[in-house]
């Protein structure tokens, strides 16, 4: 494949898939993920400024994040199914363009209700984008490189969480929240040009090959991947969402940013480590990830009053979690094959359900039982995760051949 073909290709045949990683195209997908996570989480870091600017309480500003997640939950599956016949690059560009519209409205809006609508729109496009990314990345490369390709494409999410969100919060403090969202729009416009230049186009699913949603759900291994996704994400968000009160016994509640930075850096390191192993050791890596998170939860449950243990356990937790989205999306894509986008839309939906469920369950437990029980509930969920992943040795998380 020559350079001209790489710069703006239209790949149609499996034999055209590259035997090396097309980094320019994959990094464009990673940037799309980065912008998606930044758009989702920025209101959480800019609560006081947005509360003042829109003349509503900080609690109402917090609902901007909730509505974004609701948009993703509601839209991922139906939008993915409705657009299965579309060519992939125009669909990808439409999803990215939706963020430019939503962030522009957010930057200019003087009304809370209009900002809510913009956030819902952003969440809808996020659901579609996350459903596209893994399948898109896997179609660019030969089968033995699919896991590595998905890992590169997923790099934007942990970078946004570990570095982008703190930087965005600082930027909002310095230049204001409106300009921060305007800058996100500018980045999105640059990304549109980048995608048009570097990312190949693919045909959508032909009518005769489109599986109904129920048939995709019943494919061998798909339900195991979805179950592991839900339990793992609920466990993660139960602890992550309420990390501040959890850190009080160790005296680190005043240093939440440092603890989360340790988590974020360990997550990025995890992606770097897993990237070269994912195609050969997918099953083992999933089991190791769940096992490390389980050990971290137990350590936090036993010694959460020790700052050193908290930092070490958080680093282990970050190592466990960082590559898990790539591992799960790779497992889903390999299991569903031609129906990968539909399977990914279910995974995205359950991922967002897990985010909301972790926050909801944590809120209920916080008042009744206290934050001290969180690690043990997390541990219980991870035992279930490990069991299902270990049992899915034939499909879903198969043994290496």
CATH number at residue 103: 1.20.1250.20
Question: Which domain, by its residues, includes 125?
Answer: 21-206
Task: Burial-class residue 400 by CB neighbours within 10 Å (0-12, 13-18, 19+).
Answer: exposed
pLDDT digits (tens, 9 = 90+) for 154-210: 888 878 876 777 777 777 778 888 998 999 999 999 999 999 999 998 887 776 667
Residues 308 and 333 in one domain: yes
Assess if residue 6 is contained within a domain: no
Note the pLDDT of residue 12: 46
Confidence of residue 401 (pLDDT cuts 50, 70, 90): low
Assess if residue 400 is contained within a domain: no
Grouping H, G, I as helix, E, B as strand and the rest as coil, residue 240 is helix
Percent of the residues in the chain that have a pLDDT greater than 70, as a whole number = 93
Domain count, the chain: 2
Given a cut of 80, is residue 229 above it in pLDDT?
yes
Domain boundary among 189, 206, 223: 206
> What length is written for the chain?
401
pLDDT digits (tens, 9 = 90+) for 328-358: 988 888 888 877 778 888 898 888 888 878 8
Residues 158 and 285 in one domain: no
Mean pLDDT, the chain, whole residue set: 85
Residues 186 and 273 in one domain: no
Note the pLDDT of residue 17: 53
Note the pLDDT of residue 289: 94
Angle at the Cα of 284 from the Cα atoms of 280 and 287, rounded to 5 degrees: 150
Assess if residue 401 is contained within a domain: no
Residues 367 and 227 in one domain: yes
**Paired tokens of 207:** 């009518």
- Considering only 1-5, 12-16, 34-38, 219-223, which range has the smallest mean pLDDT? 1-5
Contact by Cβ (8 Å): 278, 224:
no
Domain boundary among 191, 206, 221: 206
Contact by Cβ (8 Å): 236, 116:
no
pLDDT digits (tens, 9 = 90+) for 271-310: 888 877 887 888 999 999 999 999 999 999 999 889 999 9
Note the pLDDT of residue 30: 93
Confidence of residue 120 (pLDDT cuts 50, 70, 90): very high
| Overall average pLDDT of the 90-116 stretch | 94
Residues 169 and 40 in one domain: yes
Assess if residue 242 is contained within a domain: yes
Residues 252 and 311 in one domain: yes
Residues 179 and 201 in one domain: yes
Contact by Cβ (8 Å): 333, 138:
yes
What are the residues whose beta carbons fall under 8 Å from the beta carbon of 386, sequence distance 6 or more? 287, 290, 291, 294
Residues 185 and 251 in one domain: no
Assess if residue 13 is contained within a domain: no
Note the pLDDT of residue 5: 41
How many other C-beta atoms can be found within 10 angstroms of the C-beta atom of residue 8? 13
How far apart, in whole angstroms, are the C-alpha atoms of residue 247 and residue 237?
Answer: 15
Note the pLDDT of residue 287: 95
Residues 146 and 82 in one domain: yes
Residues 252 and 347 in one domain: yes
Confidence of residue 1 (pLDDT cuts 50, 70, 90): very low
Confidence of residue 4 (pLDDT cuts 50, 70, 90): very low
The more confidently predicted of residues 247 and 168 is: 247
Residues 311 and 253 in one domain: yes
Backbone angles phi, psi at 394, to 5 degrees: -90, -45
Assess if residue 2 is contained within a domain: no
Angle at the Cα of 86 from the Cα atoms of 142 and 28, rounded to 5 degrees: 50
Residues 354 and 329 in one domain: yes
Contact by Cβ (8 Å): 187, 181:
no
Assess if residue 11 is contained within a domain: no
How far apart, in whole angstroms, are the C-alpha atoms of residue 291 and residue 299?
Answer: 12
Domain boundary among 177, 206, 235: 206
Assess if residue 358 is contained within a domain: yes
What are the residues whose beta carbons fall under 8 Å from the beta carbon of 97, sequence distance 6 or more? 188, 192
How far apart, in whole angstroms, are the C-alpha atoms of residue 122 and residue 352?
Answer: 14
The more confidently predicted of residues 359 and 123 is: 123
CA 378, distance to chain mean position in Å, is: 19
| Overall average pLDDT of the 312-330 stretch | 90
């Amino acid at each position: 494949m020559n350079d001209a073909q790489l710069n703006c290709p239209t790949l149609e045949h499996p034999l055209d898939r590259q035997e090396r990683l097309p980094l320019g195209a994959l990094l464009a997908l990673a940037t799309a993920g980065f912008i998606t996570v930044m758009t989702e989480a920025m209101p959480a870091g800019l609560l006081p400024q947005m509360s003042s600017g829109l003349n509503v309480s900080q609690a109402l500003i917090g609902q901007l994040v909730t509505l974004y997640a609701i948009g993703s939950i509601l839209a991922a599956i139906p939008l993915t199914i409705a657009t299965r016949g579309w060519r992939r690059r125009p669909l990808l560009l439409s999803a990215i363009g939706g963020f430019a519209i939503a962030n522009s409205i957010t930057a200019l809006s003087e009304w809370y209700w209009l900002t809510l609508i913009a956030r819902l729109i952003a969440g809808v496009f996020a659901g579609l984008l996350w459903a596209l990314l893994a399948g898109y990345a896997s179609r660019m490369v030969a089968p033995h490189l699919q896991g590595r390709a998905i890992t590169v494409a997923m790099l934007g999410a942990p970078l946004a969480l570990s570095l982008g969100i703190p930087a965005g919060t600082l930027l909002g403090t310095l230049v204001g929240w409106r300009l921060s969202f305007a800058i996100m729009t500018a980045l999105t416009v640059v990304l549109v040009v980048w995608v048009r230049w570097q990312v190949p186009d693919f045909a959508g699913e032909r009518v005769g090959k489109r599986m109904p949603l129920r048939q995709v759900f019943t494919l061998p291994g798909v339900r195991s991947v979805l179950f592991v996704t839900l339990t793992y994400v609920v466990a993660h968000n139960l602890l992550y969402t309420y990390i501040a009160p959890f850190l009080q016994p160790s005296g680190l509640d005043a240093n939440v940013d440092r603890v989360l930075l340790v988590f974020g850096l360990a997550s990025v390191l995890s992606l770097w480590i897993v990237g070269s192993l994912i195609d050969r050791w997918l099953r083992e890596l999933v089991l190791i990830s769940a096992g490390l998170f389980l050990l971290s939860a137990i350590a936090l449950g036993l010694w959460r009053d020790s700052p050193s243990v908290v930092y070490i356990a958080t680093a282990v937790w970050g190592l466990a979690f960082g590559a898990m989205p790539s591992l799960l999306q790779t497992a889903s894509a390999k299991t569903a094959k031609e129906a990968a986008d539909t399977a990914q839309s279910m995974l995205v939906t359950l991922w967002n359900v897990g985010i909301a469920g972790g926050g909801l369950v944590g809120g209920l437990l916080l008042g009744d039982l206290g934050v001290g029980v969180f690690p043990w509930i997390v541990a219980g969920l991870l035992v279930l995760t490990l069991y299902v992943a270990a049992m899915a040795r034939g499909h879903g998380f198969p043994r290496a051949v």
